[in-house]
Chain A
Amino acid sequence: MTQEAVSVHAGTRGFYEDTGKRTGIRAWIFSTDHKRIGLLYLMTMGVFFLLAVAFGFVMRLEMLSPGKTVVEAQTYNTLFTLHGIMMIFLFIIPGLPAVFGNFFLPILIGAKDVFFPRLNLLSWWLFLAGGLLALVSVFLPGGAADTGWTFYVPYSVRTSTNVLPALIAAFILGFSSILTGLNFITTIHRMRAPGMGWFRMPLFAWSLYATAWVQVLATPIIGITLLLVMVERWFGVGIFDPTLGGDPVLYQHLFWIYSHPAVYIMILPGLGVVSEILPVFARRTIFGYKFIAFSSVAIAAVGSLVWAHHMFTVGMSNTGMFVFSLLTFLVSIPSAIKVFNWVATLYKGSIVLEVPLLFILSFIIQFSIGGFTGLMLGALAVNIHVQDTYFVVGHFHYVMFGGTGFGLFAAMHYWFPKMFGRMYNKGPALASWFLTTVGFNMLYFPFFFLGYFGMPRRYYDYLPEFQTYHLISTVGSWVLVLGIIVMVVNLLIAYKRGKTAPANPWGGRTLEWTISSPPPTENFHDIPAVTTGPYDYSEYEQRQAEHP
């Protein structure tokens, strides 16, 4: 069945040829095709990502030496605020679900589109509006917000910078996220192909499912919180501001009730990508499918109950400290289970060391380091010391960038042939993997030393004894940025001039590899009937053995 489907579409440009009778950019921004929407997200998100990388780059440059190096203190404070807001709300949260989820979720489960295609387009429009508003707020009189991405009250109430536009932007982006989540839940429940039971679903789809629930349930809380901040600022109702009789700690609770689950919105799809890519290059089924699937759900559930571990120094009750620390350790267990199952998946495989797999291997190690440092942070006595220091910054960059970021790089190199119908050059791709991995670790590993030795975060200046670590870190940022440039240029060249990609360049067993590259508009000529699990290599390997 599958071989036939490929030959029908071979040699065409698939959905790219079907512009829906629209021309130019309108064929994109008004299209309800999930693949076009995924690519719209990719383009907008890519621009925001590169901007935020540039901000981070300047921050590292400023940290090269004590005192002023390149920018003033106010600029530095603005930079880390924008870096955080853009990386979190405009890159990592939408990153994997909105780009690869939109493009591949329907295909992975054998559907022709998502359940609500128009709502899907609306999500992108909201995303664009929120993103642009965030950017515009930078240039409005008053200057860009300088509160950090957390907008902690009372500072965010007192600063004269443009906090409100940034808050409204985050509010709008929240709706985009909720709608995408809603769409994915419905799609997964209602549109799986015949024969695709829950446990035949690819693990990336499972991770998107868990993520979508968090998006739908947790995001409204940040929306409400941001609304309360606006009410407070406009009408002087004392909610969070102590001068009006409000409680700043209440703000932190509400903020983290969303923002901690949001951390799982960011990482879960990354974990899904690893589970998706590993079996393909190990040429064997994933180890412990159900454990990996359920651990995603467990992370989403327990992860919603650990928010106050961001606030161990605010002066909480001892009961609160005890419970939140305990739950924090419990939520590490499903992540640990995943890591062990991944490594076991390599056992007795027949491993093809392609670029996507290399990114995945980097992911596993970096995510593990992120997890281990998370244990250190979960232990109360240690947390009190390293809270709000570079240790925390190192920890979440290892999870968010070393994990999700590298997961996104892996997904990009894995699905690129399918999305664009072209192959990239392996040499530069290998170089970009090497440079990003080395640069990343060089940039963020010194943060653990800095933090433990007592360097607080969000510091424009620092004591001379910290300089060696900052120096190593800044040089690391150059290597990392070089790696990102090599990657982007390589993929852009491949997009323009790459060799035509076959339908299944990696030997994947999931449904997207049964259709042509790039996929036709309707994805499947006939909705496929699914008869096996997603990573069944027994038959494939047999065929390979017979017809090498």
Chain B
Amino acid sequence: MFTGSSPFADYVDTTFLFIVGISTLVLIGLMGAMVYFVFRYSRKKNPHPTNIEGNLPLEVAWTVIPLILFMGMFYMGWEGYKQMIDVPKGAIPIKVTARMWSWTFEYPNGLQTDTLYVPVKEPVKLTLTSQDVNHSMYIPAFRIKKDAIPNRENIMWFSTPEVRSYDIACAEYCGLRHAYMYTKLVALDPPAFEIWYRDKSAEASKPYAPLIPGVSEFK
């Protein structure tokens, strides 16, 4: 489905599998006990039921043990989340604008693209907003997602582990072509990125290339 990971993916998967593991064990225990009781204490095998009103130590046990486990799960979830909001210093700032039904990425020099190119392994900080309705930028491979909401700026960050491209999807329902609001995140080697960035910036500025040199800032 997706390979490769960001700093978060391993942690999220570990947390997820930890909860899945405990859940599976408890579920098997519950189902096993249930099915066993249904057969062992069927009307035929056990014609005379025993009235058991309850058992306080048991009630305490199955309140306290889940509580401890749940607090462990909560803690793992919180720790992972802290990594997601802790943006490293020097991350490349890119502005993301969502609209029905496409994305625009704006680089520090003003370059705008519809595909997100980044240098591999470098932290990237995205500032998200929307021009119309709510959207949500979702990079499944990195296990991260953040809503793009009009009049608001939300932050997310990541760094790419390897040179390849990843899917970016919209996760907040936004109308007719919501399912097609996909774009790509492309991680390039830093030299390749530099070349792309320079060429693309030059190319983008061409249509607006001023006749008088030196006025390009007013573009």
Contact = CB atoms under 8 A, between A and B. Distances in A.
Given A375-B19, A379-B74, A368 B27 contact: yes
Contact of A282 (B31, B49, B179): B49
A27 interface: no
Contacts of B140: 385, 453-454
Contact of A159 (B20, B48, B73, B175): B175
Contact of A315 (B66, B152, B167): B152
Nearest to B27: A368
B46 A384 contact: no
A198 interface: no
A452 B15 CA distance: 13
Contacts of A350: 41-43, 46-49
A456 B49 CA distance: 50
A146 B133 CA distance: 14
Interface residues of B, number: 81
Place the interface of chain A in its size category: 35 or more
Nearest to A285: B51
Contacts of A339: 30
A336 B145 contact: no
A460 B178 contact: yes
A337 B59 contact: yes
Nearest to B29: A343
Contacts of B74: 325-326, 329, 378-379
Given A248-B134, A315-B147, A462-B179, A382 B78 contact: no
A387 interface: yes
Contact of B46 (A290, A325, A348): A348
B150 interface: yes
A456 B84 CA distance: 20
Contact of A376 (B19, B63, B173, B179): B19
A382 B145 CA distance: 11
A20 interface: no
Interface in B50-87: 50-55, 58-59, 62-63, 66-67, 70-71, 73-74, 76-81, 83-85
A63 to B, nearest CB: 11
B73 to A, nearest CB: 5
B19 A314 contact: no
B81 A346 contact: no
B24 to A, nearest CB: 8
A381 B79 contact: yes
Contacts of A326: 74
B72 to A, nearest CB: 10
Contacts of A282: 41, 49
Nearest to B175: A155
B30 A381 contact: no
Contacts of B11: 381
A458 to B, nearest CB: 4
Contacts of B178: 77, 458-460
A460 B173 CA distance: 11
A379 B180 CA distance: 29
B31 A365 contact: yes
Contacts of B37: 343, 346-347, 349, 351
A30 to B, nearest CB: 42
Residue from B20, B55, B145 having most chain A Cβ neighbours under 10 A:
B145
Contacts of B33: 343, 346
B3 to A, nearest CB: 12
A186 interface: no
Given A74-B176, A333-B70, A336-B62, A283 B138 contact: no
B187 interface: no
B38 A336 contact: no
In the A-B complex, the 5 residue pairs with the closest CB atoms = A381-B80, A454-B140, A379-B77, A372-B23, A380-B81
Interface of B: 1-2, 8, 11-12, 15-16, 19-20, 23, 26-27, 30-31, 33-34, 37-38, 41-43, 46-55, 58-59, 62-63, 66-67, 70-71, 73-74, 76-81, 83-85, 132-134, 136, 138, 140-141, 143-147, 149-152, 154-155, 167, 169-180
8 contacts: A77-B173, A152-B173, A248-B150, A315-B152, A325-B78, A348-B50, A457-B173, A536-B51
Given A333-B66, A364-B30, A381-B12, 16 more contacts: A148-B173, A152-B133, A154-B132, A154-B150, A249-B152, A285-B51, A287-B52, A315-B146, A322-B78, A368-B26, A376-B19, A381-B84, A385-B143, A388-B138, A536-B51, A537-B49
